[in-house]
Structure formats: C-alpha cells, structure tokens
Chains A and B, each alone.
Chain A
Amino acid sequence: MTETYGADAAVRWMAAVAAAVEREAGRLTELDAAIGDADHGANLKRGFAAVAATLAEEPPATPGAVLVTAGRELISTVGGASGPLYGTLLRRAGKALGDAGEVTRDELADALEAGVAAVGQLGGAVPGDKTMLDALTPAVAGLRESFAAAARAAEEGALATVPLRARKGRASYLGERSVGHQDPGATSSALLFAALAEVTAG
C-alpha cells in the first residue's frame, strides 16, 4: 500500500525545518557573509520560528493548507529575498496539493515541482546560477525515488554550488570572487529536504 501524509506530517516537517534553521543559523550567516549580506541565518530563523508558532497555534486541516500558511508567514516575516522565494515555493506547492486530506510522496513531488518552477520564475534564475534552485531542482527529482534520495540530492546540489560563479542576487556583483563559496540559499534548501527526510523516516 502506498504511504500517505497528512497535515500533521506537514506541520512536523515545518517544525523540523525551524529546528534545523535555528541550529544552523550561524553557518548560514557565515556562508552569506562570504558572498551575501550576512543575514540569511537570522532572517530564516525569524521566518521559520514564526511559521512554527503560527502552525502550532492554529494547525490547518490539510497538508496543502499547512504549506500555504507557512509560505505566507515567510513572505511577511523574513525581510530578505529568501522570504518571498521560500514563501512562493511553499505557497505554490500548497496550492497545488489543493484540499486533499492525505497526499502521497509522488503528489508532494508534483506540488514541490510546481513550487520550484514558481521560484525560478519569481527570481528569474535557472539551475547553475548558484542559487537555491541548484539544491531544489535535484531534490524534487530525487523525491520521485525516496525522501532520503531527495535529501541526498539537495545536499549534493548545495555542495556543487561551490565552484559556480553567481549570476543572481547580491553575490552576482562579486563576479569571480563568488567562486569557491557554497551558496547560502542552496544550503538552506538542503536543510529543508533533510528535515523532510527526517520526519518521514521510519
């Protein structure tokens, strides 16, 4: 039988992301200090803490509604570019899930694929630009196989941004000097999929 995931799994996913971002905020900010404006960790920590608090207070009834609520919260509270980008990812994915009470891994992959496409459109970026898309795109492909494969693909995608030259965002102003640094957005995207693998394991 195919396993399905409900609103409670989505809430646990967002709580796990909040915990991971809290734990890794220092590292994200360090990465962002090298090629960005050194606020990625603090911004995401604030955003996902607000997401976790909102979801705990009033847990939505469907996984789609959980992601839409989380996305909206990120857009309102983050303050940097990662807010509208992650907000769009989750909100679009949530809308794609519709009002289904339970979804399969494949349905989640479809929804996240729509979310990733929306992120690319919003930021005008493609894989290879040294952005979160370099982790998100392989992660969604990996999700077709398993949650663990998605987490692995995201992590590998984030590591693969090191030799790239940034073509989007503030890092793009650095030109060649952006080479040799891991992209903070791709790194936080890997946390997102690590958290998903964590809450769906076993």
Chain B
Amino acid sequence: MSGDRVGIVLVSHSAAVAAAVAELARGLAGGGDLAPVAAAGGGPDGGLGTSAALIAAAAQDVDAGAGVAVLVDLGSAVLTVKALLAEGDELPEGTRLVDAPFVEGAVAALVTASAGGDLDAVAAAASEAYAYRKV
C-alpha cells in the first residue's frame, strides 16, 4: 500500500510526453513499492495543450492525504495549475506546484516520495535537479 505517501502529477502539453516521463520515472526509481504518479497530458480536445479537468482528476487519483506534487512543462501548463490552485477547491488539499525541470524533477520527486519523503522533501528534491549542470 502506498498509504500516506506524496502523490505526483506530471502535466505536459503532450499526452505522450506526460505518459512517457511517468514511465521513465517509474523505471528509474526502480524496485519496490513506488509512490503514486499520474500523467495529465494534452488539451481538452486530446490535442496539444493543457486540460484543467485532466489535471484535477490526476491529482485526485494520486492523493493519499500526504499532499500532491505537481510538475509541469511550460506555458499554459504552468498557468493552468496556478489558476487551479488560486481557485481553492479544484485540487486536493496539500497540492503544490513544484518548480523543477520536468524530466529530471519527475525522477527525483518519485524516488523521494517512494522513500517516504514528505511534500517539502519531494519538492526540494525535484527543485534541486535544476542545480545539476550537464556541461
């Protein structure tokens, strides 16, 4: 059971990107019982874009009471999540938009959440992924 672990929502303009990053994070987080992670990709018409309904549903899906970390790609994904948070009652209590690179942050967040880290720890781990320079 993933009892009271932090849930993770991955919001991308593309359904394929969101699903693939979720799969990648699950694969790299590896072994054992993983924290819940849900993909919310694509717009209301199924094309490229952001769907508030998909995001809200994904957040409900992964919410186990310990908070939900939302990672986003860009543009309308950022703005939609911020607008939903401002709305107040659209997302589960303890939902937070995490400032992190999408792919690297997703892996760091899932590893930390699966290890039992709280929302602060998950958010910090995902944000720290920005500090890892590649060259």
- Take A84-B76, A170-B75 as given contacts and tell me if A79 and B83 are in contact as well, using a CB distance cutoff of 8 Å: no
State how many residues of chain A have any CB contact under 8 Å with chain B. 23
Chain B residues with Cβ below 8 Å from A91 are 87
Contact of B79 (CB < 8 Å), options: A43, A81, A170: A81
Asked if residues A87 and B76 are in contact (CB atoms below 8 Å), the reply is: no
In the assembly, what is the distance between CA of A11 and CA of B82, in Å?
26
**Alpha-carbon distance between A9 and B49 when the two chains are bound, in angstroms:** 32
A4 within 8 A of B: no
Within B7-63, which residues are at the interface with A (CB < 8 Å)? 43-45, 47-53
Rounded to whole angstroms, the CA-CA distance of A138 and B122 in the bound complex is 43
Contact A80 B76 (CB under 8 A): yes
A86 to chain B, nearest CB (A): 10
Q: How far is the CB of A59 from chain B (nearest CB, A)?
A: 21
Whether A88 is near chain B, meaning CB under 8 Å from some CB there, is: yes
Instruction: Identify which of residues 95-135 in chain A touch chain B, using a CB-to-CB cut-off of 8 Å.
Output: 122-123
Q: How large is the interface on B (under 10, 10 to 19, 20 to 34, 35 or more residues)?
A: 10 to 19
Q: A195 within 8 Å of B by Cβ?
A: no
A69-98, CB under 8 A of B: which get 1 and which 0?
A: 000100111111111110110010000000
B115 to chain A, nearest CB (A): 33
Interface centre among A81, A82, A85, A88 (most CB of B within 10 A): A81
CB nearest to A39 among chain B residues? B49
When distances are taken between beta carbons in the complex, the residues of chain B under 8 Å from A43 are 49
- Give the CA-CA distance A88 to B45 in the complex, in Å: 21
A selection of 20 A-B contacts at a CB cut-off of 8 Å is: A39-B49, A43-B49, A46-B44, A46-B45, A75-B52, A75-B83, A76-B53, A79-B43, A79-B44, A80-B75, A81-B76, A81-B79, A84-B76, A84-B79, A84-B80, A84-B82, A87-B83, A122-B83, A122-B86, A169-B75
Q: Ordered nearest first, which 4 A-B pairs have the shortest CB separation? A: A79-B43, A79-B49, A84-B83, A81-B76
Residues of B within 8 A of A (CB): 43-45, 47-53, 75-76, 79-80, 82-84, 86-87
